[in-house]
Chain A
């Protein structure tokens, strides 16, 4: 059974810092991995999708890497801003059409 963990559970940083969020999964036979953002009481917004054959994806200040063999992914946020404050969720999908298995999330607070 696939299990996804995320470290740290919560993180508080001053504005402007670069930071790294970590995601680990137990079964490396994944189809893809996706990072989501969730604001309090809201649904999920997709940030970055990495296919199993890819090593990283970038979008603006965000960079996500994938090391499938070791079961790890990192989300790097450059020059953090207060608007980045949210919960960041990592999710893996095993094969075509299968549901996501989510991690518990990292709750990020960026202080002005």
Chain B
């Protein structure tokens, strides 16, 4: 399978616990994005990487959230001291920035659904 993969697909945790999600982008894609989607809403941008550099972070990304892409391949999104309001679907997408400066379309993974009890 050459698409974007995310693990785990589902996570149930208790309030106050830490959780970590992983995203494996399409192999030749140098850009990686994280979005959050709550029920009945469209996805909201959280952050994106170009290779290993985190270039932009949304105001939605509080201090409890941290994302990394250490080798410019897979990425992790960690939420510390989870709150019930963190319950959502966390989507990862990847794309390719060409040498011409053109960014191709984003391809989305299946998402990780988080439920904080």
Residues of chain B with a CB closer than 8 A to A25's CB = none
B65 within 8 A of A: no
A49→B44 CA distance, assembly (Å): 19
Complex Cα distance, B3 from A44, in Å, reads 12
- Choose from B44, B58, B97, B107 the contact partner of A97 (Cβ within 8 Å): B97
B26 at the interface (CB under 8 A from A): no
> How many residues of B are in contact with the other chain, CB < 8 A?
30
Interface string of A59-103 (1 = CB under 8 A from B): 000000000000000000000000000000101000011011111
> How far apart sit A96 and B110, CA to CA, in the bound complex (Å)?
24
Q: Is B69 an interface residue, CB under 8 A from the partner?
A: no
A-B contacts, CB under 8 A, total: 58
Q: Which residues of B contact A (CB under 8 A)?
A: 4, 31, 33, 35, 40-45, 48, 50, 55-56, 58, 89, 91, 93, 97, 101-103, 105-111, 113
A43 in complex: contacting residue of B40, B97, B102, B109, CB < 8 Å: B109
Chain B residue numbers with a CB within 8 Å of A100 are 35, 43, 45, 106
Of the A-B pairs whose beta carbons lie under 8 Å apart in the complex, a sample of 10, sorted by A's number, is A43-B4, A43-B109, A96-B101, A99-B45, A99-B56, A100-B43, A102-B42, A102-B44, A104-B41, A105-B41
